[in-house]
Structure 1
């Protein structure tokens, strides 16, 4: 049986660039409330931004549509789904074209080659993409508390003058 989230937050935004910031702010607020570190919140915001921007630019290509954002809140992690009903794509095919980034090419070409997918996979602990009827991007980020071991001295234990 699948573990049930403590809470679920759903948001639907128009598939327009102006609304991507709303998804980013919602995830930031949820992650802050959960106790994520500043750096992890920034990673979450960027990953969600990339997923939503992919929907805006590729799934709907300027057509009207909606993007669904679901945040499943667990004790130790945040699971996010970004869903659109636009044009599907083969994630593995896009990733195979990514290859090493060459600095002499334009950023628009790099973006077309799957940089957003690379960023999402780099920033999140787990990313899964399904694309039969539209695209569903599932991303998971775990809360990392007390990353410094208990055997490490705290600054308060250092001698002072």
Structure 2
């Protein structure tokens, strides 16, 4: 399906600016006709992703890059940084599973952010080619969710 519009925002990677990202995605999702519950899920997922950038990407400051890609049947939200990258396999081995279908009790401390994001969004992908890029998709109608989508996967570099 064809992408229609995109919104790009760059904000300082500081806790006091995470609300700007939440407000941005809330406004876009509301305009697209998402339900109140879906908008809340998107806002929480984006806040978690931005908080991860604030806490882990930049020891001395930097920017959070937020992009919303609008389609007829979904919104795709990208949260990216150009700070300290991480290897998803290493993260999984240290933090436990990030698949939303696995029990929360299997997670070690610190793994709840990715778990929460994957449980709130319909599809979550990570690309770490240059910094970290988290791509989160929420379908407007549940029928758009693919049967095979299950939590977090690696995103091929064609997205970058």
The verdict on a shared fold, with TM-score over 0.5 as the criterion, is: yes
Conserved? CA contact 1:101–1:110, under 8 Å: no
How does 1:6-155 map onto structure 2 within 5 Å?
A: 6-61=4-59, 63-96=60-93, 97-98=95-96, 101=104, 110-111=109-110, 114-144=111-141
Partner Cα distance (1:67, 1:49) in 2: 11
Please list every run of 5 or more consecutive structure 1 residues that lacks an aligned counterpart in the other structure. 103-108, 147-161
1:144 is displaced (CA, Å) by: 2.0
1:130 is displaced (CA, Å) by: 1.2
Q: SS where residue 48 of structure 1 aligns?
A: helix
Task: Please report the RMSD computed on the Cα atoms of aligned residues, expressed in angstroms.
Answer: 2.0
Please list every run of 5 or more consecutive structure 2 residues that lacks an aligned counterpart in the other structure. 98-102, 144-160
Partner Cα distance (1:73, 1:17) in 2: 26
What whole-Å deviation, never above 9, does each CA across 1:117-141 have from its counterpart, x for those lacking one? 1111111111111113210001100
TM superposition outliers: structure 1 runs of 4+ over 4 Å: 99-102
Choose 1 or 2 for highest CA Rg: 1
TM-score (norm 2): 0.78
TM-score (norm 1): 0.78
Conserved? CA contact 1:21–1:49, under 8 Å: yes
1:5 is displaced (CA, Å) by: 1.4
